Amino acid sequence: MKTKILALLLGITCGNSALAETNQEDKSFWDLPTHGKFEFRQEYRDGIDQYNNKFQVNLRQGSYILETIAYVNGGSDNDIWSDHKIGSYELGLYHNYKINPQITIRPGFAYAINTNENNLYIPSLRFNYLTNTKVQIEARYKQVITSKNTHRNQAFDLYLGYGGIKDLHLLYQGNITHSVSGNPLFDNKDIDYFHNLKATYKGFNRLQPYAEIGDIKVSPKSNERQLRWRLGIVYLF
């Protein structure tokens, strides 16, 4: 009798485990929870005395990320909100491949619609490594190709992040860009670069304000540099 009861319980347990695995595997993509963020950012470039804004919405469904961005140009130091115009819209789709809890690879593709009708194709590949000490190492390679074949650039970004300070996340970004088509990017040469440092406060949970400072070029025709100041806020949902 005991043997029969034990066999019955074992069969029920195995059956439930198999059913749970089957249900998880058969779960529809659309039944997965949707997460996302809304971001607003204002930027000021002191060399050309100009303000720019960015509006961004990200939606994450399972391992896929849909990204929409609107870049707004205009506004001088005398009147921040004057003469603002949409510079471009960008729509991107990305897929996270989680190799293990520390390593993630994210291929993706974005399409940018510019007001000058010279639109952009932007394929990219990210590699993200997160250590157990809250140190983040991320690399990104991307190409930017114009629809009229007037420009083709390739860029490499290195990100170093640290989240070991309570409610504060620090991120350094270094970028180098090369013009494959030979167009001048900085100082009449086909190479450009910039540095950026970002600090994000995460103590408000869903609301995350941040500040950035960067060193960027003023013009492709000169060797002048300028500071780029950014203030933004992210709302997670």
The answer to whether residue 203 scores a pLDDT higher than 70 is yes
Question: Both 62 and 176 in a single domain?
Answer: yes
pLDDT in tens, 55-68: 999 999 999 999 99
Whole-structure pTM value: 0.83
Question: Both 12 and 109 in a single domain?
Answer: no
Question: Both 46 and 81 in a single domain?
Answer: yes
> Would you say the C-alpha torsion 26, 29, 31, 35 has a positive or negative sign?
positive
Provide the domain count of the chain: 2
pLDDT in tens, 8-55: 333 434 444 444 444 444 566 667 788 999 999 999 999 988 899 999
The answer to whether residue 221 scores a pLDDT higher than 90 is yes
pLDDT in tens, 117-146: 789 999 999 999 999 889 999 999 999 999
Domain hosting 118: range is 32-236
With a CB cutoff of 8 Å and minimum separation 6, the contacts of 42 are 51, 52, 53, 230, 231, 232
- pLDDT at residue number 187: 97
Instruction: Please answer whether residues 66 and 35 qualify as being in contact, where contact means their C-beta atoms are separated by less than 8 angstroms.
Output: no
Question: Both 66 and 9 in a single domain?
Answer: no
- pLDDT at residue number 231: 98
- pLDDT at residue number 154: 98
Question: Both 187 and 152 in a single domain?
Answer: yes
Question: Both 47 and 155 in a single domain?
Answer: yes
Beta bridge partners of 208: 234
